[in-house]
Amino acid sequence: MLAALEEDCGRRPDGSYVFGDVTSDGAIPAERLAKAKLVAKADGVLAGLDVFARVFELCDPGVRIERLAADGQRIAPKQELLRLVGRARALLVGERTALNFIQRMSGTATLTAQYVSRTAGRARILDTRKTTPGLRVLEKYAVRCGGGENHRIGLYDEAMVKNNHLDLAGKDLALVLRELRAKLGDDFVITAEARDEAEAVAAVAGGADIVLLDNLTVSRMQALCPTLRAQRAAQSPRKLEIEASGGITLANVDAVAASGVDRISIGALTHSAPALDLSLYQEPTP
């Protein structure tokens, strides 16, 4: 949040934050107080209310905040979500940064909720690492607000063997997976991307926890899922989850969910969600 504010406000030569606005500083008395209200202008799911509030706390430690809604809540046009009372200059300084955060986070939560609704509980909706640099934690939080789940956070908390790993390793998929398991241990989650039926079968044989079916048609996934489950049951008691990814939209996600997969990962949740329309209305206090 400090970095986002610095984009607008800059720093002094000594490195301290300015937290100022040349327009407000020249037009509004320093002692002037104002009040503001955050209002929804569209239907959606709220995410980022605490982030929104924190921006103003950084700009004015004495700001008074009243929350009227909560993250994960469905909101409607004209609904009042939060009230502020504080220094007028500070409210103007924080306005755009705070709105940028909450509009984008709420947009992600809203889009996620739409996908979750379309699947009707038949498969879980997950995000990916296709996030805005520096905002991954906030965007993945927004996905959870919309009823989705988080895929791995980064390159460190789960292993995922993708086509580039396989091609550069120069080994077959099952062998790569067995070597990874030996190095990482039984408790580490390993996902294997499969571009076709042969790679999916090899992923199960190699002991992957999750087989990611990449850009397969619904009919191919529907035929393949029972085969993979039967293969795992015959080879190992280790749990298997099947994931679909690639080319999934609101128009086809219900069919993908009905194919028999356990989970569906969608990059668009974080890289293509439109911002939710919210406004901050301000006025001087009496």
Q: Would you call 214 a catalytic residue per the annotation?
A: yes
Same domain, 239 and 132: yes
Domain identity same for 101 and 148: no
Q: What is the pLDDT along the chain (286 residues), one digit of tens a residue?
A: 878 888 888 666 666 556 578 888 889 999 999 999 999 999 999 999 999 999 999 999 999 999 999 999 999 999 999 999 999 999 999 999 999 999 999 999 999 999 999 999 999 999 999 999 999 999 999 999 999 999 999 999 999 999 999 999 999 999 999 999 999 999 999 999 999 999 999 999 999 999 999 999 999 999 999 999 999 999 999 999 999 999 999 999 999 999 999 999 999 999 999 999 999 999 999 8
Instruction: Tell whether 155 and 266 lie within a shared domain.
Output: yes
For 227, other C-beta atoms within 10 Å of its C-beta total 13
130 & 250 share domain: yes
Please pick, among 21, 71, 199, 214, the residue that the annotation labels catalytic. 214
Annotated catalytic residue: which of 96, 144, 152, 229?
96
Q: What is the pTM of this model?
A: 0.94
Residue 172 shares a structural domain with residue 216: yes
The catalytic residue among 83, 130, 152, 229 is 130
**Active site (annotated) includes residue 140:** no
179 and 103 within one domain: no
Estimate the crossing angle of helix 173-184 against helix 197-205, to 10 degrees. 30
| Tokens 């400090």 -> residue | 2
Backbone φ/ψ region at 48: left (φ over 0), alpha (ψ -120 to 50), beta: left
Q: Are residues 78 and 161 in the same domain?
A: no
For position 15, what pLDDT does the model report? 61
Q: Quick one: 240 and 203 in the same domain?
A: yes
28 shares its domain with 98: yes
Residue 67 is among the residues annotated as catalytic for this protein: no
| C-alpha angle 196-226-122 in degrees, rounded to nearest 5 | 95
Residue 108 contacts residue 148 (beta carbons within 8 Å): no
> Which one from 193, 199, 209, 243 is the annotated catalytic residue?
193
Same-domain check for residues 207 and 111: no
The boundaries of the domain holding residue 90 are: 2-115+273-284
Read off the tokens for 152.
């791995």
Q: In terms of domains, do 78 and 140 share one?
A: no
Q: What is the CATH number of the domain that holds 46?
A: 3.90.1170.20
The CATH number assigned to the domain holding 189 equals 3.20.20.70
User: How many structural domains are present in the chain?
Assistant: 2
Residues 64 and 181 in one domain: no
Residue with tokens 């396989």, as numbered in its chain = 166
| Alpha helices per DSSP H over 37-194 | 49-59, 88-119, 136-145, 163-169, 173-184
